[in-house]
Amino acid sequence: MARVAITELSKLYDGGGEPAVKDLSLTVGNGEFMVLLGPSGCGKSSVLRMIAGLEPITSGKIAIDGEIVNEIPAKDRDIAMVFQSYALYPHMDVFNNLAFGLRRRGIAKTEIERRVQGAASKLGLLPFLKRKPHALSGGQRQRVALGRAIVREPKVFLFDEPLSNLDAALRVSMRNELIRQQREMGITAIYVTHDQVEAMTMGHRICIMNKGEVIQIGKPLEVYRNPANTFVARFLGNPPMNLIPTSVEPDGGAYQLRVGGMSLPTDCWPAETLSRLGGKALLGIRPEDLYETAQRPDERRRIAIARAHVIAVEPLGAETLIILSLEGAAEEVTMRSGRETRLRPGDNATIELDLAAAHLFDPKTAQVIPPVHEEREARWAKAE
Amino acid sequence: MKPPSAVEPSAAKGIAYLRGAPLMAFALIYTIVSGGPFLWVAMMSLRTTPEIFASPYALPSSIHWEKFVDAWTKSNYGTYFWNSTIVVVTAVALLTVIGAMVAHCLARYRFRGNRLVRFVILSGMILPPQLMILSLFQILLEYHLYNTLTGLIIVYVAGHLAITVYILEGFFAQIPQDLFDAARLDGYSDLEIFWRITLPIGVPALFTTVTLNFIILWNEFLYAVVLLTEDDKRTLPLGIMHFMGNHQLDVGMVATGLMIAIGPVILLYAFFSETMIRGMTAGAVR
Ligand SMILES: Nc1ncnc2c1ncn2[C@@H]1O[C@H](COP(=O)(O)OP(=O)(O)O)[C@@H](O)[C@H]1O
Ligand SMILES: [Mg+2]
């Protein structure tokens, strides 16, 4: 168990113009499961490889339990990593794959035997101990890779997209397996993925990265509900948050948002901030915060009514996605509706926007405009 | 594509045979061309020279095994065989270890001057041996290695390092980097990783270079004839010269000597040919 503290970490590859990682700071607590989430190429693997000691650090510090490990070689860091490719040793059977890391550490033979048997039985690998990796299925290989990390009982687990080579069903079951093992052992874990479902379901906290930088760190639902900028807003959530360009217009002492022919009140946001926007803002609203008139469950929400035209209807089984164009606005928005929806393409519909769940972004900086708080806090408190 | 439904299954089989026919014919001709002379020498090795002169292509009428004993005892064949064994086994062992290490480094590490080192080593492949033989002769004389087996071993290792590295590096480069990273995280040093990951995974490629080097060096004549002049230092290919006297050629004994020389190569090939072909054609890890 260990605490991993990363301070202003940067990585510049030879011959690469832009740094792959820029001034990244992050602390992962003892026993915490931290997910690094971001689009492919944003530097997640680079961070992980620097923590592991597989890649030299350009600048910044990495400390494990307070000890700076920048100069400690990978073999002495006591870190276990699960690779996307599994990286099983092809010339060794499953038993030896699991035991390889223990042998080097001078652990007694009986203890190695005990640990390997233990991990193998936890992961359902006992029947395959004498098999070579090429004679295993994808799911079994994945288990061996996980087992190889588990037997080591390291200070830190690192996972680099370990589930992305599995098919959908296996991925779900391995996801749960992995969470269970990590929670049981209480070993600090850093998990890299570009899959937001994995991030939302697995992590104690998520660190969202883009272009080598940390964009936002927080608990999964916190980040989902309070995205720091438009990148997070669109990256988390499927379908992503609607971002509707609006104009901010003075209305007496206050301001109004105009979307096409519709005016929305702005009392969720401080007028002073709105005044600095230069007349333009992006209204962010998640598909599940749009309602068909009859389906809104809760009376207390701050509702705005909009007229819209149905462009497409996508039934997904459990729910139906409705693609709409708001009256007088060019942008398409997506609404998440029940499976029993009556809307058909070409219909005109009246929809309701839950303004209490909406976000406002500054189009120039893409950053969120912090709302007036009481409203929001009360709402989340209730939801939790 | 539509399956050729009009063709009956048996007819389809016939067509398949026909398609294979040119290939079969080629394989047959190739076998005759390459195996024929070998069989001929094998038969001559069991016949006496007068018999051979009487009828060069005949099958052995009575089998003269004693010719092998003669070849071994009446000349210095035991010494030649032993010399060849020492030189070739040592050279191949050194080539395998040094070549694998070089290939591992070139395939795994990006170091300063890496491309230059590779170029220098691999350019050794294109230099014809005739070009170097005089300078080698001089150098070996100077270092008192002329007429020694050690000298020949060094020459062999140097001469074959390029091709060995070339074959091994191609194979090692295909081993995924993740395996090496995993082994490092498992606590192994670079040298241990070489012994425990690269070498065992590279076995098919190693078989290829071992077999290749063994066969070529076992038959090597040019360097041996220039660099070894004392009779008790000679290797097998030179030993055969013994039967080619100054005035007349003892064809029967030459054939017997050749068979003794070829023996180890045939054995090696019989055991390792399959592994070797796999090493040359297959990828490293699937
Ligand atoms: N060994 C390397 N040499 C040069 N550039 C690299 C290397 N590894 C990664 N990069 C670059 O660094 C950036 C981040 O890569 P990576 O950390 O693998 O991202 P991710 O894991 O998020 O997909 C990419 O632009 C990639 O091209
Ligand atoms: Mg990656």
The top-scoring range by mean pLDDT among A94-98, B21-25, B52-56 is A94-98
Residue ID of nearest Cα to ligand 1 atom 26: A41
Whole-number pLDDT of residue A375: 52
Inter-residue contact A81 to A50 (CB < 8 Å): no
Q: How far apart are CA A367 and CA B13, in angstroms?
A: 70
DSSP assignment of B171-216 equals HHTTS-HHHHHHHHHTT--HHHHIIIIIHHHTHHHHHHHHHHHHHH
Say if residue A73 is preceded by a cis peptide, omega within 30 of 0. no
Residue B3 pLDDT: 47
Would you place residue B165 in the very low, low, confident or very high pLDDT band (cuts 50, 70, 90)? very high
Q: Provide the shortest C-alpha distance from residue A37 to chain B (in Å).
A: 21
The answer to whether residue A276 neighbours chain B at the CB level (below 8 Å) is no
Tokens of A372: 């007036």
Q: Which of A11-15, A110-114, B37-41, B202-206 has the highest mean pLDDT?
A: A110-114
Q: Looking at chain B, which runs of residues are DSSP E strands?
A: none
A48 Cα nearest atom in ligand 1: 17
With cut-offs at 50, 70 and 90, classify the pLDDT of residue A300: low
**In chain B, what percentage of residues exceed pLDDT 70?**
90
Query: In the predicted model, is pLDDT for residue A56 greater than 90?
Result: yes
Q: How far apart are CA A268 and CA A278, in angstroms?
A: 18
| C-beta atoms of B186 and A54 within 8 A | no
Tell which residue, B90, B84, B92, has the closest CA to residue B206: B92
Kindly state whether A79 is in contact with chain B, defined as any CB-CB distance less than 8 angstroms. yes
Residue A194 CA: nearest ligand 1 atom is 22
Q: Which ligand is nearest to the CA of A209?
A: 1
Task: Please check whether residue A223 is in contact with residue A216, taking contact to mean a CB–CB distance below 8 angstroms.
Answer: yes
Does the pLDDT at position B102 exceed 90? yes
Beta bridge partners of A35: A191, A206
| Among A49, A85, A152, A153, the residue to mutate for chain B (most B Cβ within 10 A) | A85
B164, B206 in Cβ contact below 8 A? no
pLDDT digits (tens, 9 = 90+) for A197-230: 999 999 999 999 999 999 999 999 999 999 999 9
Residue B284 has pLDDT above 60, yes or no: no
**What's the mean pLDDT in B160-175?**
92
What whole-number distance in Å separates Cα of residue B263 and Cα of residue B254?
14
> What are the beta bridge partners of residue A6?
A26, A62
| Of the candidates A56, A3, A47, the residue with the CA atom closest to the CA atom of residue A23 | A47
- Residue pLDDT, tens place only, A156-183: 999 999 999 888 888 998 899 899 989 9
Asked if the B70-281 domain carries CATH number 3.30.420.40, the reply is no
Name the residue ranges covered by the structural domains of chain B: 70-281
Tell me what percent of chain B is helix, strand and coil, each rounded to the nearest 5. Answer: 75, 0, 25
Ligand nearest to the CA of A43: 1
- Choice among B35-44, B57-66, B245-254 with the minimum mean pLDDT: B245-254
Is the confidence at residue A292, as pLDDT, over 70? yes
The binding-site residues of ligand 1, defined as CB within 6 angstroms of any ligand atom, are A 13, 16, 20, 38, 40-46
> Residue B60 gets which letter from DSSP?
P
**Would you place residue B282 in the very low, low, confident or very high pLDDT band (cuts 50, 70, 90)?**
low
CA of B161 to nearest chain A CA: how many angstroms apart?
Answer: 26
Residue A158 alpha carbon to ligand 1 centre in Å: 17
Chain B touched by A240 (CB under 8 Å): no
Give the alpha-carbon dihedral of A215, A216, A221, A226, to 10 degrees. -90
Give helix then strand counts, H and E, for chain B.
Answer: 14, 0
Q: Which of A56, A160, A88 is nearest to B182 (CA)?
A: A88
In angstroms, what CA-CA distances link A219 with A156, A200, A224, A284, B269?
20, 9, 9, 20, 64
CA distance A119 to chain B (A): 16
Domains in chain A, CATH or no CATH each? 4-233 (3.40.50.300), 240-382 (2.40.50.100)
What's the CA gap between A168 and A170, in Å, rounded? Answer: 6
Task: Please say if the pLDDT value at position A189 is more than 70.
Answer: yes
DSSP A39: -
CA A12 to chain centre: 24
> Does the distance separating the beta carbons of A89 and B187 come in below 8 Å?
no
Neighbours of B201 (CB within 10 A): 22
Residue A107 CB partners (closer than 8 Å, separation 6+)? A115
**B223-279: per-residue pLDDT in tens?**
888 888 888 888 888 877 766 765 567 777 788 888 888 888 888 888 877 776 766
In this predicted structure, the answer to whether residue B103 has a pLDDT above a threshold of 90 is yes
pLDDT at A382: 47
Give the chain B residue whose CA is nearest to the CA of A153. Answer: B186
Q: What is the pLDDT of residue A295?
A: 59
Which ligand is closest in space to the CA of residue A83? Answer: 2
Tens digit of each residue's pLDDT (9 = 90 or more) over A342-381? 889 998 988 888 888 899 999 999 999 988 765 555 555 4
Q: Whose CA is nearest to atom 5 of ligand 1?
A: A13
**C-alpha A47 to ligand 1 mean position (Å):** 10
B283 touches chain A (CB under 8 A): no
Higher-confidence position of A1 and B140: B140
For residue range B122-137, what is the model confidence (pLDDT) as tens digits?
Answer: 887 887 878 888 888 8
Query: For helices A44-52 and B177-185, what crossing angle results, to 10°?
Result: 40
Q: What is the B74 CA–ligand 2 centroid distance (Å)?
A: 71
Is B190 in CB contact (< 8 Å) with chain A?
no
Q: Tell if the CB–CB gap between B185 and A81 is shorter than 8 Å.
A: yes
Least CB–CB distance from B187: residue in A75, A91, A134: A75
In terms of Cα–Cα distance, which of B35, B30, B27 is closest to B262?
B35
**CB contact A76 to B (< 8 Å):** yes
For the cut 50, the answer to whether the pLDDT of residue B286 exceeds it is no
Provide the mean pLDDT of chain B.
84
Out of A14, A35, A37, A46, mutate this one to test ligand 1's pocket (max ligand atoms within 8 Å of CB): namely A46
Do B182 and A87 lie within an 8 Å CB cutoff?
A: yes
pLDDT at A298 over 90: no
Give the tokens for residue A164: 């992305």
Mean pLDDT of B36-59: 81
pTM of the predicted model over 0.90: no
| Range A203-207, long-range pairs (CB < 8 A, 24+ positions) | A203/A33, A203/A34, A203/A35, A204/A32, A204/A33, A204/A34, A205/A32, A205/A33, A205/A34, A205/A35, A206/A34, A206/A35, A206/A37, A207/A26, A207/A34, A207/A35, A207/A36, A207/A37
